[in-house]
Amino acid sequence: MSAPQWTIPRHNQPVVDPVDSPDDLMDLPQSVKEWFWPASRESSSDKKERLDVQTLLIGVQKGQRNDVCARLAGYYLRITKGDVGQTKAILGVWNDRNSPPLDWKEVERTVESIGKRQQQEEIKEEYTDNKLFKRIEKLIYPDGEVRYRVWVDGFENYMDMSSEDFTSRVRFKNKFFELTDISPKLPKGDKWDDWLTETMKMAVHIHVGEDETPMGTIETIISEGCRKDILCTDISMVKTNIVIVDDSIFFSMKYISDALLSYGIKMDARKIGQLLRRFKCVKKEKNVSGITLKLWEKKNN
């Protein structure tokens, strides 16, 4: 059975011959061309780079692979807006065409390294943009101390800062560098003050409870160590236990430091010592079986 023949009604519209039609009917506006053919937006240098990349994707010989890998990684990370996974997938296909292929771990390292570098460059360019920070927490402690946690976009960890760190341009710059390995060109003078004021508008205020402070955590650590079910009375075990002898509680600096780390609190010995003294703890030395033990004592009231 033959296909049905359809007749399109003309409604008295003029017929335009596709061959003899005027040339101007074929000239589309540039905006329309760019919509349908994005490549028409390319500059001559961009077009050349794209054509070069297409040639390189065919694969290369030994001696060219590392340089080309870095070049392709940079190109595709740029056009995919930093999508490392997508870039690795593209370079996986390219690597299979090389003679011989590179070790895949080397390809991965190259993509990740260039991705990190591009990310850092983007951050460096946007250092004055308050959107650079994902989150700022202003922690207000029961004793009046104030600290800040500042998360930078693109990084998992945060900057732990005091008020002095935050308001000092130099100290702020140092903290930023410690986290990101980038030395930002921060505003100067009045512009720095304005930028800092704008930045602080996004801070979330958090009132920290007594039990959430390092002081409260140390109190919890000592109380937990004094529980009857784990009670230790052997002073030689003081490095790894809370020890109770007569009316005194003994423990080592290392025990407290390790216990704090288990709560996610990293603190140097000087700071721990200051807090222990606020608990009326006293630093002592005891000779046990010819070994001098450095420990802390708290009266068990």
Calpha distance 117→127 (Å, rounded): 15
Q: Which long-range contacts (CB under 8 A, 24 or more apart) does 111-119 make?
A: 111/73, 111/77, 111/84, 111/87, 112/84, 114/70, 114/73, 114/74, 114/77, 115/73, 115/77, 115/82, 115/84, 115/87, 118/74, 118/77, 118/78, 118/82, 119/82, 119/154
Are the C-beta atoms of residues 54 and 72 closer than 8 Å to each other?
no
Residues 6+ apart with CB under 8 A from 267: 214, 257, 260
Band of the pLDDT at 14, cuts 50, 70, 90? very low
Residue for token pair 């010995």: 269
Please report the DSSP string for 93-116 in residue order. HHHHTSBSPPPHHHHHHHHHHHHH
Q: Is the pLDDT of residue 47 over 60?
A: yes
Calpha distance 266→214 (Å, rounded): 10
Are the C-beta atoms of residues 299 and 244 closer than 8 Å to each other?
no
The mean pLDDT value for 14-36 works out to: 47
Read off the amino acid at residue 200.
M
> By three-state DSSP, how is residue 232 classified?
strand
Q: Which residues pair with 150 in a beta bridge?
A: 136, 159
Q: 0.75 exceeded by the pTM?
A: no
Q: What is the pLDDT of residue 196?
A: 84
Structural domain boundaries in the chain: 29-125, 130-208, 212-299
The mean pLDDT value for 86-107 works out to: 90
Q: Which residue has the higher pLDDT, 141 or 294?
A: 294
Are the C-beta atoms of residues 294 and 253 closer than 8 Å to each other?
yes
Q: Is the pLDDT of residue 124 over 70?
A: no
Calpha distance 251→238 (Å, rounded): 5
Q: Is the pLDDT of residue 135 over 80?
A: yes
Q: What is the pLDDT of residue 1?
A: 43
Band of the pLDDT at 20, cuts 50, 70, 90? very low
User: Over the stretch 193-225, which tens digit does the pLDDT of each residue have?
Assistant: 888 888 888 888 888 776 667 778 888 888 888
Calpha distance 125→181 (Å, rounded): 14
Work out the percent of the chain whose per-residue pLDDT is above 90. 4
Calpha distance 120→223 (Å, rounded): 46
The mean pLDDT value for 49-59 works out to: 79
Band of the pLDDT at 131, cuts 50, 70, 90? low
Q: Is the pLDDT of residue 31 over 80?
A: no
Band of the pLDDT at 45, cuts 50, 70, 90? low
Band of the pLDDT at 99, cuts 50, 70, 90? confident
